[in-house]
């Protein structure tokens, strides 16, 4: 079952998002300086491509499940007291929040009282998705 889910996630991510090496996704500026991103573009375009891929694919929003799930409360990095709303999730930028990924496991974040949950893919999963997207291109 996990293998089927993994394959479906890989194909969904690949078909929905096509990455363009050299372009800087504007969401990256929430965490990284212009100088750093320009340096990546010039000297390490593959790292910039991976960051762009991650900002597009690292997390996704789902309805809160009917059963209890151990989830971390989502907060904004710049304003920890801010109450997350459903409209915040429409143009969601994970780099503006207290979201951290795990090396091997998905992480779950509760988005305030919106009835939504953010699922963050593991670093291992992201590397697999990214590598597969490169092989297909």
Tell me if residue 131 falls in helix, strand or coil: helix
In this predicted structure, what is the pLDDT of residue 105?
Answer: 96
- Domain around 87: 59-120
Say whether both 64 and 116 belong to one domain: yes
pLDDT of residue 68: 85
Same domain as 48, residue 2: yes
**For residue 20, pLDDT beyond 60:** no
pLDDT digits (tens, 9 = 90+) for 36-95: 999 999 999 999 999 999 999 999 999 988 888 889 999 998 888 888 888 889 889 999
Same domain, 83 and 50: no
CA atoms within 13 A on the CB side of 93: 14
Q: CA-CA distance, 36 to 26, in Å (whole number)?
A: 13
- What's the confidence (pLDDT) of residue 2? 56
Mean pLDDT of 14-20: 45
Same domain, yes or no, for 7 and 50?
Answer: yes
Do residues 53 and 17 touch, judged by C-beta distance below 8 A? yes
How many distinct structural domains can be found in the chain?
2
Same domain, 4 and 44: yes
pLDDT above 70 for 121:
yes
pLDDT mean across residues, the chain: 86
């Amino acid at each position: 079952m996990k293998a089927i889910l993994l394959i479906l996630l890989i194909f969904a991510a690949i078909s929905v998002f096509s990455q363009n090496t050299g372009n800087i996704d504007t969401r990256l500026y929430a965490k990284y300086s212009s100088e750093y991103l320009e340096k990546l573009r010039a000297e390490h375009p593959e790292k910039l491509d991976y960051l762009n891929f991650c900002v597009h694919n690292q997390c996704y929003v789902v309805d809160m499940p009917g059963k209890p799930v151990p989830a971390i409360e989502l907060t904004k990095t710049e304003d920890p007291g801010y109450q997350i709303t459903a409209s915040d999730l429409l143009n969601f930028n994970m780099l503006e929040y207290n979201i951290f990924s795990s090396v091997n496991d998905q992480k779950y974040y509760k988005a305030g009282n919106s009835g939504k949950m953010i699922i963050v893919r593991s670093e291992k999963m992201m590397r697999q998705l990214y590598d597969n997207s490169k092989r297909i291109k």
